[in-house]
Structure 1
Amino acid sequence: MSNYFIKKEKIRFKHVDYAGIVFYPRFLEMLNDLVEDWFEEALERPFSKIHETNGIPTVDLKVQFKKAARLGEILTKSLWVKNIGGASLLCGFKFEDEEGKICLEGEVTLVNVAFKDNRGGIKAESFSEEMKEKISKFVLS
C-alpha cells in the first residue's frame, strides 16, 4: 500500500493570473483542498463533522515554489505524514506536473484542537488512538 495520499487537479482559469500561471495563493488553496480530501476520504473524518466540535488548523507552513503551473495542466498532488505527535501532524506535500516535475513542495503542521466555548476559545486535543492508527498508514519510513 502506498503511504501517499494522492489527488489530481486540473489548473483552471480561476487559478491563474494575468501571466497565465497559477497565482501562488491558489496553490495554498489547493493544498488545503488536499488536506480536506485526505481527512474525508482516507481518514473518514470529514471537515463538515470535525468542525462541529473540533478543528484542524495549520500552525506552520513551509513552501518552496519550484516551477510555474499553467492553465489546462493536470497536477498530481501528494501528501504524506512525516511525524505524528499527540495532537499534531507534520505532513510533507508536493505537486507535480504531468512530466513529473515538481511545481511546489513543502511541509505543513496541523494541530487537532477542541473548541472550548462559543467565543472562539480553542485548545490542542490529542488524536484518538483510532485516528492515530488511520494516520499512521501515511507515515513514510
Structure 2
Amino acid sequence: MVFERTIKVSFQHCDPAGIVFYPRYFEMINQVTEEWFEQSLGASYRDIHIDQGDAVPTAKIETEFKKPSRLGDMLLFTLQVTKLGRSSVHLEHRATCAGELRLINRSVVVYVKGEAKKPVSWPQAIKKQMEIFLKEEGPS
C-alpha cells in the first residue's frame, strides 16, 4: 500500500524565481510523514512526542532532485516503507506533478524512548500498521 498526499506549491515554498527552494521539500516530506503517522498508523506526533515523551527522529536522509517545481504546481507525494527494522523504518517518498517525477527521497526514521532517547522497538500497534505499507520487491 502507498500513502498519498497532494501539496500545492505556495509562495512560502519558493525562492524569488518562483521555484521550490530545496529545504522546503524537507518540510513537505516531514508533513507527509507526520500525516502518515496520524492517519495510517494511529499515532500522532503529539501522542508520541508530547504525551508519551518519546520521539521519531530522522537518522538519515537522501534526496534526488529530478526536476524543479514551481509556484502553483500540485505535487503528489507518495510514501512507502522499503525496510522495517526493530527500531527503524526506511521510507521512500516520491513527488510527482502531472505524472512527471520531481524528487525521490529516502530516509530512515527511528523510534526512541523517553528522556534517554535511546532506540527501542516500535510499539506493536504502530509496527503492524507499517507492515501494510511495506513495498513488495519485484521486477522494476
User: Fold match, TM over 0.5?
Assistant: yes
Report whether the alignment pairs 1:129 with 2:124.
yes
One-letter amino acid matched to 1:110: V
Report whether the alignment pairs 1:64 with 2:84.
no
Aligned to 1:108: 107
1:72-109 residue CA offsets vs partner (Å, 9 max, x unmatched): 110000000001100000011100012x1111102110
Q: Residue 69 of structure 1: CA displacement?
A: 0.3
* Structure 2 unaligned spans of 5+: none
1:21-72 residue CA offsets vs partner (Å, 9 max, x unmatched): 0000000000000100000111010001110321000000010000000001
* Structure 1 unaligned spans of 5+: none
Aligned to 1:45: 43
Cα distance in structure 2, aligned partners of 1:76 and 1:101:
10
Aligned to 2:88: 88
Structure 2 counterpart of 1:15, from 13, 16, 21: 13
Cα distance in structure 1, aligned partners of 2:100 and 2:43:
31
Cα distance in structure 1, aligned partners of 2:59 and 2:123:
20
Cα distance in structure 2, aligned partners of 1:4 and 1:33:
16
RMSD of aligned alpha carbons: 0.8
One-letter amino acid matched to 2:91: C
Q: Residue 128 of structure 1: CA displacement?
A: 2.0
Cα distance in structure 2, aligned partners of 1:106 and 1:128:
25
| Equivalences, count | 134
TM-score by length of 1: 0.92
One-letter amino acid matched to 2:47: K
Moved more, 59-68 or 127-136: 127-136
One-letter amino acid matched to 1:133: K
Secondary structure of 1:51's partner? helix
Cα distance in structure 2, aligned partners of 1:132 and 1:37:
16
